[in-house]
Amino acid sequence: MGINLNPFTWWNGASWGTMLYGLRGKARVGEDELGNVYYEGGTDTAGNPRRWVIYQGSNDASRVPPDWFSWLHHQIDDVPSKALPPIRPWQKPALPNLTGTPLAYRPSGALEKGGVRAAATGDYEAWTPEG
């Protein structure tokens, strides 16, 4: 997008104001495998610590892995590397929301996959008011 839009836009990542002033006095607590950085500092009105994520790239909440989502929403108290068990070999990595991309799920009858639906099997009988 260019350096000229960074001070004014939030949808392309953190603006300069967020990085210079918004996170002043906040502690950096970790980074995930996607490059998102997590901060903690201050308290909210209920007395819970405030937590933030600064996205690497576009601001898309589906790009936060499940373990860090749990930390952001106070489901776990400590950072995921300390509070959660290690990742099991059979677990798949989390994927961001793929809607609107070429990798999005499309059922067999979708126009993007040729638009050909499976033939009816003959077990359907239409409802009629007389029947």
Mean pLDDT of the chain: 81
- Among residues 81, 52, 50, the alpha carbon closest in space to that of 67 is found at 81
Residue 1: the pLDDT is: 47
Distances (CA, A) of 24 to 39, 60, 124: 10, 23, 65
Q: Are the CB atoms for 25 and 43 separated by under 8 Å?
A: no
The token pair at 31 is: 């980074």
Residue-wise pLDDT for 34-53, tens only, equals 899 999 988 889 888 999 88
Distances (CA, A) of 48 to 40, 73, 88, 115: 10, 10, 31, 51
- Among residues 82, 78, 32, 25, the alpha carbon closest in space to that of 54 is found at 32
pTM, 2 dp:
0.66
